[in-house]
Amino acid sequence: LLGRLLVSGDLLRNTAHLRRIVPLLPSHPHLAASLSSLYFPLFPSSCIFLHNLLIRASATSPSPRIAFAAFSSILRSGDAPDRFTFPSLLKSASRLASFPRTGAQVHAQAVRRGFLIDVFVVNALLAMYAAFRDTASMREVFDSCAGVTDVVSWNTVLGGYVKCGDIRNAQMVFEEMPQRNGVSWSAMVGAYAGSGELDVAREMFDEMPAIGRNIVTWNSMITGFARHGLLPLARKMFDEMPVRNLVSWNTMIRGYAVNGEMDGARKLFDVMPEKDVVSWTCMISGYAQAGRYAETLELFREMQSESSARPNEVTMVSVLSACAHLTALEEGRWAHTYIDKHKMVLDNEFNLGAALIDMYAKCGKTDMAVKIFYSLDQKNVSAWNALITGLAVNGDVQDCIGVFEQMKRSGEKPNDITFVGVLTACAHSGLVDEGRRCFQSMSSTCRVQPEAKHYGCMVDMLGRAGLLEEAEELIRTMSMAPDVMVLGALLGACRMHKRFDVAERVQSEIIGLNTRQAGCHVLISDVYAAAGKWGEALDARRVLQKCTIRKLPGSSSSMR
C-alpha cells in the first residue's frame, strides 16, 4: 500500500492516506522514522496530529520506544506538543519500567509546558508511576494536582498502592475518596483477597453497595480463594455467580492450573461456552508447569487446528519450555518459525528470547542458542542465564565462563541461577580453581548469598576432583543445614574415589535427615558393597524396605 501511494504521488497530495498508514508504522521502526521526518513536515497544519497519531499507535504496540522518537521529531520541527501528545507518550513510558528516567523526562516536559492542569495528562502520569511501583512520586503528583483530579485519579492511586502490596495506604485512600465506584470497591476487595486476608475481603464483599458488587469483584474473590489453595471455596463462589463472563471462566481455570489441578481445569475448559487466547494459554501453561509436556504440545496443536485465537508470547514460552524438556527439536523449530512469522518481540518482559535460547540449548543446538542471544537488542538476566546454563549443560565450559565474564562487563548483575550454571560448568570440567573463585565472588562481589544448590555444585566439583576433605569442611561452614542433594553429591564422590571413611560419616547425616529419596540409600549400599562390607550393604538396602521407600524405574519423556 505504501509503495503504491509513493509511486502514484498520492501520499504527497492528501493527509488521509498518511492517516491510514501511521497506525501501522510501529511494526516497522525504520520506516516510521523515515516517514515522520520526511513526510509529516510537508503538512504543517496536520504535523502535530500525525505525530500524535504515531505516538498513540506506538503506546499499544510492541515498540513503545517509537513514541519517543516521534516526540523528539516534534521538538526538532519547532512545533509544540499539545494536550493530546502527553497521555499516549506517558502510556508508552509506563511500558518501559526498566527505564524510569525516560518517564521522569516526559514528566518534566509536561510540567514545563503547563499540561498538569489537564486531568487526562495527570491520570496518565499517575498510571505511569503506578506501573513503575514508584508510589512516592505517584503520591507527590496526586497531592500537587488535587484541584484537577477526578474519580479515575483516585482509583489510579488506590490501584498503585494495591499493586505494591501497600494495603494500609490503599485503605486510607479508599476512606478519603469523595466518591467511590465499582472500580474502587473491586480494587479493595481484590487487594485483601490477593494478600490472603480473605475474611476481610469477604466481609467487604458482603457489605459493599449494589453499585460496587459487580462481576469484577466476584472474579477478585475467586482469584483470592484460588491463589491461596482454597479451590472448593473458589468453585463455590464461581457456581454462585449471578452472571459469568469469559474472565470468570478463565479465572477459575487459572485457579485450578496454579494449584496443579489440571484434570479439574480440563473439565471446566471443555465445557466453556467460548474460549479466548487466555483460556488456551492458562491450560497450556498449566500443563507445562505441571510437567505434563506432551499434553502441553498436544493442546497447542488443538489450539492451532480448532481455535481462531492466536497464541501470544506467554503461550509460546510454555510451548518452548515443553519442547526443551522433551528435546523436541522439530516442534521447537516450528515454534521459532511461528514466532518470527508473527513478529513477536523476543526481548521484552515475556522473555521469549530466553525461552528460545533454553530450548535450542537443551536440544543440543548451542550454535542457534548463541545466535539468538546475540540478536537480542536488550539482554536481561534471564537471557544471560539461559545461555550460560545451556553452554554449561552441553559441556562448552570455556564459552560458558567467557559469557559469564561478558555478562559482568555488560553491567547486568548475575543472580543465583547464573552461579548455578557457572559452578555446574566448573564441576563437570574439573576447573576447581575457577569454581572456587566464582563461589567466593558470589557474596563478596555480586552480593548473591550462596544457597544449598550452590553448595551442592561446589561439593560435586570438589568431590569429582577427589578433594573430599575440603568438601566436608565446606559443608561444615554452611549457614544452613545440608540437604540430601548436598550430602548425596559427597556420597557419590565417596563411591567414585572409594573413600569409605567419609561415606560412613555422611551416612549418619543422611539417616538423620530421615530422607525418603531412594537414591541416597542405594548409594550408601553401593559404597559398602565396593568396600566388601556386604552386611552393611544389605542393611542399607533393608532401610528401603523397612521405610517402604521405592526406587522408581528409569524413564524418559518422549513425544506422543
Count of alpha carbons within 13 Å of 22, Cβ hemisphere only?
A: 26
Asked whether the beta carbons of 495 and 521 are under 8 A apart, the reply is no
Confidence of residue 215 (pLDDT cuts 50, 70, 90): confident
Q: How far apart are CA 404 and CA 14, in angstroms?
A: 54
C-alpha cell at 406: 561478558
Task: Print the domain residue range for 209.
Answer: 193-274
Number of domains, the chain: 1
Q: How far apart are CA 436 and CA 440, in angstroms?
A: 6
Q: What does the pLDDT read at residue 73?
A: 84
Tell me, letter by letter, the H, E, C secondary structure of 356-379.
HHHHHHHCCCHHHHHHHHHHCCCC
pTM of the model: 0.70
Q: Please give the mean pLDDT across all residues of the chain.
A: 86
Q: Is residue 451 part of a domain?
A: no
Q: What does the pLDDT read at residue 274?
A: 94
CA angle 402, 405, 408 (to 5 degrees): 150
Q: What does the pLDDT read at residue 4?
A: 56
Q: How far apart are CA 558 and CA 178, in angstroms?
A: 61
529 pLDDT higher than 80: no
| pLDDT one-digit tens code per residue, 33-70 | 666 665 566 556 667 887 888 888 888 888 788 888 88
186 pLDDT higher than 90: no
Q: Is residue 249 part of a domain?
A: yes
CA-based R_g, the chain, Å: 29
Among 28-32, 251-255, 501-505, the range with the most confident prediction by mean pLDDT is 251-255
Cβ neighbours of 109 (radius 10 Å): 17
Q: Does 294 or 216 have the greater pLDDT score?
A: 294
| Average pLDDT estimate for 319-345 | 96
Confidence of residue 547 (pLDDT cuts 50, 70, 90): low
317 pLDDT higher than 60: yes
C-alpha cell at 109: 516536559
- Name residue 290's amino acid: A
Cell 543465583 appears where? 416
Q: Does 558 or 62 have the greater pLDDT score?
A: 62
Q: What does the pLDDT read at residue 503?
A: 78
409 pLDDT higher than 80: yes
| pLDDT one-digit tens code per residue, 418-468 | 999 999 999 999 999 999 999 999 989 899 999 999 999 999 999 999 999
| Average pLDDT estimate for 70-90 | 88
- List, in order, residues 6 or more apart from 199 with CB less than 8 Å away: none
Asked whether the beta carbons of 429 and 395 are under 8 A apart, the reply is yes
Reading phi first (left if > 0) and then psi (alpha if -120 to 50, else beta), residue 81 is in: beta
Asked whether the beta carbons of 350 and 378 are under 8 A apart, the reply is no
> 36 — phi, psi (to 5°)?
-65, -35
Asked whether the beta carbons of 292 and 262 are under 8 A apart, the reply is yes
In order of 48, 75, 259, 527, the CA distances from 117 in angstroms are 20, 21, 47, 78
Cβ neighbours of 93 (radius 10 Å): 30
Nearest to 415 by CA among 441, 390, 447, 439: 447
- Name residue 77's amino acid: S
Q: What does the pLDDT read at residue 559?
A: 36
Instruction: Quickly list H helices, 241-328.
Output: 246-258, 262-270, 277-289, 293-306, 313-326
Q: What does the pLDDT read at residue 296?
A: 97
Asked whether the beta carbons of 461 and 424 are under 8 A apart, the reply is no
Asked whether the beta carbons of 228 and 198 are under 8 A apart, the reply is yes
| Average pLDDT estimate for 502-526 | 64
CA angle 149, 151, 156 (to 5 degrees): 85
Q: DSSP class of residue 302?
A: H
In order of 281, 426, 484, 515, 542, the CA distances from 518 in angstroms are 36, 27, 11, 8, 11
DSSP string covering 502-536, please? HHHHHHHHHHHHT---HHHHHHHHHHHHHTT-HHH
Q: Is residue 217 part of a domain?
A: yes
Cell 565450559 appears where? 397
| Average pLDDT estimate for 281-302 | 97
Q: Is residue 449 part of a domain?
A: no
| pLDDT one-digit tens code per residue, 257-289 | 999 999 999 999 999 999 999 999 999 999 999
DSSP string covering 23-89, please? GGGGGSHHHHHHHHHHTGGG-GGGHHHHHHHHHHHHHTSS-TTHHHHHHHHHHHHT----TTHHHHH
Cβ neighbours of 210 (radius 10 Å): 7
Asked whether the beta carbons of 412 and 448 are under 8 A apart, the reply is no
- List, in order, residues 6 or more apart from 350 with CB less than 8 Å away: 313, 314, 317
Residues of the chain above pLDDT 70, percent: 82
Q: Does 231 or 540 have the greater pLDDT score?
A: 231
Q: Is residue 407 part of a domain?
A: no
State the sign of the Cα–Cα–Cα–Cα dihedral 313, 315, 320, 321.
positive
555 pLDDT higher than 70: no
